[in-house]
Structure 1
Amino acid sequence: MRYSLFGFLGIVAMLVACTQTVSAPKDDDESSEISSSSKKGTSSDSKSDDKKSSSSMELLDEECVGEVGVPWDGTTAKDFACGAGTKLSPYVILTAEQLAHLSFVVNSSDKAYQGKYFKLGADIKLNKGDVIDEKGALVGDSTKLHKWTPIGNSSVSFDGNFDGDGHSVSGMFINTTSTHNGLFGNSSGTVQDLTVENSWVQGGSATAGIIGNLKGNGSLSNSVNRASVFGTGTVTGGIIGSYESAHDKKGTVENVENQGVVTGLKNVGGVIGTGSSIKISDARNYAEVVGSNNVGGIAASLGSNSELKNGSNFARITGKEYTAGIVGFFGYSYCPASANYGSMQNVLNRGVIVGTNYTAGVVGQALCVTITESANTDSIVANKYSAGIIGHAKRSKVESVYNKGAVFGSTNVGGIIGYNEEGVTSSAYSTGKVDGDSLVGLWICRFFNSGFMNNHIHYRLS
């Protein structure tokens, strides 16, 4: 997804000043720009068949033990299918019982398996039949479902390397009030090429479909979540619940996609709940996200030293304060004049956003961050500090952004920014209707203490 428009937006603005004539870009151009990197289901599915075929051939060369395709019986195997736990010969997991064995050895802090390599050799079924329906609701008698114990918990994390190899884990059922829930409850290791589907995850803080809590140098890549996630604690995410930073370490999340409904209290994100010092790239959300405060299509809240590049939301996001299509809250509350606490580049919101205060298409509140090449194309419905791009920006740099969505609010309503406090904005335009009761601006509603803008255009479309 590359917005080629941004590179010459400043030139367009100059031409407008000279000729007083301008044309709005066509929607077809915008669609072609995002088509290459925002197609639903491309995170790991496109590689799945080839990888599964190569895996099957590799397994034929080894004497691996396990009956493939059989739903879990609730027991734990005593060993893996085969392998030595090395990079060249990982422990192979063919059955649900063997996956449960991984959970057992990690949660038991068995040092013999620390830092080892693991690989799925087949799709894993943790329960037979449908666990959720097409709308993401739990179906059937949950008392008859096998409950999954996450790999890692609040006391111990998975620190190895887990390669899903394009396979899926389905039928996972978690229903608890405890923290650290998901296929992995806690991980400081590497997880990749995995899909979790037809699953229900319900729990306290740090609850998600794939990893409840990612920490340190932990990483997740090329993975898809199709599980429904219901959080009863303070942090909930579709793919990752929370990221726990460590000194001089930075977690990475790359090429991930959420297709499961996410519902929680506060700090609810389609991809991740909360995190600081984390790098996220190529992240997409296609499912509804519902919460109270700090709600976002990609992240609920990103703290200092965080990076987000190439993110998109295509679903309805509903919350209260600090609600947005991409990130609800971005930055750090202590925001001195010279600080830069994070960056966001090349993001797009195409979902309806509904909130109360600090609600916008891209970021609800941005404090001491840089936001570039970002756009909103759908409606924003809120109360105070609502806008197409940012509800409230403080000491932040905003450039090369556009809004095509209608923005509705009561006060401090803007096409680009609702309230710009000591910030700099440049090369921006808005075509959407902006409507409110008081303090309404076509671009930026309200400035404070030398916030300024240049090269801003507003199109009135008939």
Structure 2
Amino acid sequence: MKRVYIAFIVILTLVLIFVVTSCVPQHPSLVSVRSIYDAKLKILNSAGPVSLDKVEGTIIYVSGSDAIIHDGQTGIYVYKAGFYSSDVGKKVTLNNVIGTTYRDSVQIDFSKGGSKSFATETFTVEPTDLTIDIVNNVSVPTRALWDFQYVKVYGILNGGKMTFTYEYDKTNKRKATINVVSLSSSFSLPYTYDTEATLTGYLQFSNGAWSLKVLRAEIGDSYPGVGVFVDEVVDGKTFKVYGKSYELIGIDDSVNPTAAKAKLEEFINSQPEGIAQVLVKGEKDGKKYAFLFSKDGKTLYQEQALKDGVVVPNLAEEWEDITIYETLKNAYKSAYSSKKGVYSAFSGASVITVESSNTYVEGNYAIFSGTVSDVTKDEAGNINININVSNWLKITISAGNFKYLFSSTFEQFKQSLEGKVINFYGKAKRNEGILEMPLYAEWEMFSFASGSGTPDDPYIITKPEHLISVRAFASANKYFKLGADIDLAGVDWTPIGTYSSNLSASAFVGTFDGNGYKIKNISFSDTTKSNAGLFGYIYNATVTNLIIENANITASSRAGALAGASQLSKVYRVKVVNSSIRVTYSGSGYGGGLIGEVTDGTEIEECTVRNTTVSGAKYAIGGLLGRLKVNSGKPAVVVRNCYVEGGQVSSDYSSSTSSAGFICNFSAASGSAVIENNYVAASIINGKAFIAYKESGSADPVVRSSYYDTQVVGSGVSDSYATGKTTAEMKQQATFAGWNFTNVWTINEGNDYPRLKWEN
């Protein structure tokens, strides 16, 4: 019996060993490697993942928690290793890691396990020259050496394309062309024209093709045209080369001939050896018509002259270049936004009406105001637009300027003006008792239902054209008031006011009273622009009693339904509902349901964001505000009696500090921010419930009597500053002790969250 028992125990032990060894995943045996190149060869020659005993290298690039390490011979991508940007330059050793390929690219997948340790000293890895036709080399040894190789290469960025041509064989002058991707916000691709460049970055073989991921670029000369030596500047838009006259396309120097000529002479004289580049578009009547560039091709003269306001646009269809004309349009708009040159007198311009027209001094800039009688087209020669204002003022728009600087068709334009009081900015001349004035751009024309822009007589806004006209007075400290709901469906919206180093001249500076009405269907989508919303930037402004509904805003950074950014402003009783805000910048995007970024002295009270989606590519995405920042010694920011309810706040980037239900990024000294009596009941993805991130150098946020719904924000979403409550508790007045339910808040006890009384 004893022998049988022993045999049974032995058999049972063997069975258990078999079961255990069968059920526990077996780690592949570790492979010893001598270098990163050796590791990559083994990965590429393997049918599956490879366990590597040790891989060493210096960190040359970090993106999120991923990195590229390099040992001086070649590099490799390391996925999910928890690196930081401060680790660049450190030598790291990775132990017991898994090597694999992802879309043909070689990498170490740290999410599968492993450990890392850093050396105490730092190392510098110098980029190597790209000396082969990498595009046509896809062999395993080539991929092992060059995939994630750190390189520096001189060549030409091909104009209008995401490609780069370099000479890999200088002896035989053989060249290759590779796709390029910019990984730096300091420059963008593609350049409009062929441009010399020295690019530093890393190569990557992915999905069967090579590309160069650019970390830094030294930009050299660009080649839009041919080099010429300018002999003489004739006037503000004409010069001579070996006796041949060149006339500059796209500008009119007649508004200030002396300043325009001086500007052109200054530009020519600043070029080395007096040599510039000309892009000739045609020839007529013995003249060549051209765009003028600096010797290195980087500066377009017409763009600079329009930005400075010493000339006005003359965008003739005969010589059109759509890309350059768009550049010139933006340049002239820049002069308007910054109030330079022709716009320098805008804010203080006199208003001229039919009654005061006899006192107008010719040559002075003014705002001419009157009722438009009719709008016609002049069929003779160029089809010019003529605007007759009650037989005392005639406005003329050239055909080219109308086509490229105005957003409507002629019929739409005609319908929007006739019979209405319109304001026009410019300067006029008398001709047989009638004032005649050229109009160059859409933003020089504006109208309102009534009013004069004072506190007692604000400009009344009842139509989209009136709201668009607010931009004309954005920085003039005027008063505006809605007289009806405004529907911007179909309108290509441009935010009112923008950022500059002189906010008093570029931002919205004034008072905007929504009067309880709605602005619906704001639509803005441009991932190259920042400061986007109904307003781009508000400064020393007041916005009150406004509802924004169904806004759709997409921008690079600083975006919100109300405004991209705010400073020293008061925002009171503004409601955002059923809207969508997205920022695409791959760093701190500052996207908010209400405002993207609020700074020094901004006060926000009794505001709400409801059923709205706020999202971003990476950091600083907030349900109400993307960022709150108070600079040292500046007035406090106040956020009081506000809430975010419904909808979702999310970041594409997996981090608990990427987004927040209320304010994502916080930066303020102790006592310089007041945050009290607020709540959040919205879904959060990759973030915190209320405040996500205290920036370096900031004091801890002080949040008083503020709450979030633990059942709505999402599983695992918590917060260090506000108090979490269940949905049932969030619908009970007793939860909100100290809140003013007499004048500010109301609640349907047990059935709904607290709401602001003014909403009803």
TM bracket (short chain): 0.5 to 0.7
Partner residue of 2:493 out of 126, 137, 148: 148
1:256 aligns to 2:620 (yes or no)? no
- The aligned amino acid for 1:124 is I
Which residue is 2:509 aligned to?
159
Cα displacement string for residues 316-346 of structure 1 (whole angstroms, at most 9, x for unaligned residues): 1111xxx22111124x5337xxxx5542111
Cα displacement string for residues 158-191 of structure 1 (whole angstroms, at most 9, x for unaligned residues): 1101000101101111001200000001001111
- The aligned amino acid for 1:290 is S
Cα distance between partner residues in 2 of 1:173 and 1:333: 35
Which residue is 1:288 aligned to?
648
Cα distance between partner residues in 2 of 1:309 and 1:362: 15
Cα distance between partner residues in 2 of 1:353 and 1:228: 18
Which residue is 1:243 aligned to?
598
1:333 aligns to 2:333 (yes or no)? no
Q: Which has the higher contact order (CA 8 A, sep 6+)?
A: 1
Which residue is 2:322 aligned to?
none
Which residue is 1:271 aligned to?
624
Normalised by the length of structure 2, the TM-score is 0.33
- What is the DSSP-based 3-state SS (H/G/I as helix, E as strand, rest coil) of the residue aligned with 2:468? helix
Task: Say whether the 8 Å CA contact 1:283–1:311 is kept in structure 2.
Answer: yes
Which residue is 1:411 aligned to?
none
Give the Å deviation of 1:294. Answer: 3.0
Which residue is 1:383 aligned to?
none
Cα displacement string for residues 196-246 of structure 1 (whole angstroms, at most 9, x for unaligned residues): 11221111110111111011x11211011122111112110001000133x
Q: List aligned pairs for 1:359-378, cutoff 5 A.
A: 360-363=717-720, 374-377=723-726
Task: Say whether the 8 Å CA contact 1:361–1:376 is kept in structure 2.
Answer: no
1:200 aligns to 2:568 (yes or no)? no
Give the Å deviation of 1:275. Answer: 1.2
- What is the DSSP-based 3-state SS (H/G/I as helix, E as strand, rest coil) of the residue aligned with 1:118? strand
1:222 aligns to 2:589 (yes or no)? no
- The aligned amino acid for 1:154 is Y
Instruction: State how many pairs are aligned.
Output: 266
Cα distance between partner residues in 1 of 2:550 and 2:713: 26
Partner residue of 1:190 out of 524, 542, 550: 542
Task: Say whether the 8 Å CA contact 1:362–1:376 is kept in structure 2.
Answer: no
Which has the larger share of helix? 2
Cα displacement string for residues 276-313 of structure 1 (whole angstroms, at most 9, x for unaligned residues): 23210111111211113431111111221222101111
- The aligned amino acid for 1:349 is Y
- What is the DSSP-based 3-state SS (H/G/I as helix, E as strand, rest coil) of the residue aligned with 1:179? strand
Q: List aligned pairs for 1:408-427, cutoff 5 A.
A: none
Give me the CA root mean square deviation.
2.8
The range that moved more, 155-164 or 346-355, is 346-355
Cα distance between partner residues in 2 of 1:307 and 1:284: 15
Cα distance between partner residues in 1 of 2:571 and 2:666: 17
Task: Say whether the 8 Å CA contact 1:239–1:271 is kept in structure 2.
Answer: yes
- The aligned amino acid for 1:83 is G
Give the Å deviation of 1:104. Answer: 3.4
Task: Say whether the 8 Å CA contact 2:681–2:713 is kept in structure 1.
Answer: no
Cα displacement string for residues 88-139 of structure 1 (whole angstroms, at most 9, x for unaligned residues): 1111111100100112332xx5xxxx11111111100111xxxxxxxxxxxx
Q: List aligned pairs for 1:77-92, cutoff 5 A.
A: 78-92=446-460
Task: Say whether the 8 Å CA contact 2:459–2:480 is kept in structure 1.
Answer: yes
Task: Say whether the 8 Å CA contact 1:228–1:262 is kept in structure 2.
Answer: yes
1:232 aligns to 2:584 (yes or no)? yes
- What is the DSSP-based 3-state SS (H/G/I as helix, E as strand, rest coil) of the residue aligned with 1:119? strand
Q: List aligned pairs for 1:32-111, cutoff 5 A.
A: 78-106=446-474
Give the Å deviation of 1:146. Answer: 2.5
Give the Å deviation of 1:360. Answer: 4.7
- What is the DSSP-based 3-state SS (H/G/I as helix, E as strand, rest coil) of the residue aligned with 1:100? helix
Give the Å deviation of 1:353. Answer: 3.9
Which residue is 1:306 aligned to?
673
Give the Å deviation of 1:314. Answer: 1.0
Assess, with a 3 A threshold, how the Cα gap between structure 1 residues 163 and 84 changes in structure 2: closer, same or farther.
same
- The aligned amino acid for 1:228 is S
Which residue is 1:120 aligned to?
482
Structure 1 gaps of 5+ residues are 1-64, 67-71, 128-144, 364-370, 379-399, 402-462
Assess, with a 3 A threshold, how the Cα gap between structure 1 residues 290 and 342 changes in structure 2: closer, same or farther.
closer
- What is the DSSP-based 3-state SS (H/G/I as helix, E as strand, rest coil) of the residue aligned with 1:289? strand
Cα distance between partner residues in 1 of 2:673 and 2:641: 14
Task: Say whether the 8 Å CA contact 2:570–2:602 is kept in structure 1.
Answer: yes
Identical positions, percent: 25
Cα distance between partner residues in 1 of 2:517 and 2:464: 13
Task: Say whether the 8 Å CA contact 1:150–1:185 is kept in structure 2.
Answer: yes
Task: Say whether the 8 Å CA contact 1:349–1:361 is kept in structure 2.
Answer: no
Larger radius of gyration: 2
Which residue is 2:684 aligned to?
317
Cα distance between partner residues in 2 of 1:254 and 1:282: 6
The range that moved more, 234-243 or 275-284, is 275-284
Give the Å deviation of 1:354. Answer: 5.0
- What is the DSSP-based 3-state SS (H/G/I as helix, E as strand, rest coil) of the residue aligned with 1:103? helix
Cα displacement string for residues 377-424 of structure 1 (whole angstroms, at most 9, x for unaligned residues): 37xxxxxxxxxxxxxxxxxxxxx99xxxxxxxxxxxxxxxxxxxxxxx
Task: Say whether the 8 Å CA contact 1:151–1:158 is kept in structure 2.
Answer: yes
- What is the DSSP-based 3-state SS (H/G/I as helix, E as strand, rest coil) of the residue aligned with 2:472? helix
Cα distance between partner residues in 2 of 1:89 and 1:146: 27
- The aligned amino acid for 2:546 is L
Cα distance between partner residues in 2 of 1:223 and 1:251: 14
Give the Å deviation of 1:87. Answer: 1.3
Give the Å deviation of 1:362. Answer: 3.0
Task: Say whether the 8 Å CA contact 1:147–1:175 is kept in structure 2.
Answer: no
Task: Say whether the 8 Å CA contact 2:446–2:468 is kept in structure 1.
Answer: no
- What is the DSSP-based 3-state SS (H/G/I as helix, E as strand, rest coil) of the residue aligned with 1:212? strand
Which residue is 2:526 aligned to?
176
Cα distance between partner residues in 2 of 1:176 and 1:362: 33
Give the Å deviation of 1:153. Answer: 1.4
Task: Say whether the 8 Å CA contact 2:533–2:561 is kept in structure 1.
Answer: yes
Task: Say whether the 8 Å CA contact 2:667–2:697 is kept in structure 1.
Answer: no
Task: Say whether the 8 Å CA contact 2:679–2:707 is kept in structure 1.
Answer: yes
- The aligned amino acid for 2:616 is G
Cα distance between partner residues in 2 of 1:360 and 1:347: 16
- The aligned amino acid for 1:160 is G
Which residue is 2:702 aligned to?
343
Cα distance between partner residues in 1 of 2:726 and 2:688: 13
- The aligned amino acid for 2:685 is T
Task: Say whether the 8 Å CA contact 2:480–2:513 is kept in structure 1.
Answer: yes
Task: Say whether the 8 Å CA contact 2:554–2:582 is kept in structure 1.
Answer: yes
Task: Say whether the 8 Å CA contact 1:283–1:298 is kept in structure 2.
Answer: no
- What is the DSSP-based 3-state SS (H/G/I as helix, E as strand, rest coil) of the residue aligned with 2:499? coil
- What is the DSSP-based 3-state SS (H/G/I as helix, E as strand, rest coil) of the residue aligned with 1:242? strand
Assess, with a 3 A threshold, how the Cα gap between structure 1 residues 197 and 218 changes in structure 2: closer, same or farther.
same
Assess, with a 3 A threshold, how the Cα gap between structure 1 residues 341 and 87 changes in structure 2: closer, same or farther.
farther
Task: Say whether the 8 Å CA contact 2:446–2:472 is kept in structure 1.
Answer: no
Cα distance between partner residues in 2 of 1:254 and 1:182: 19
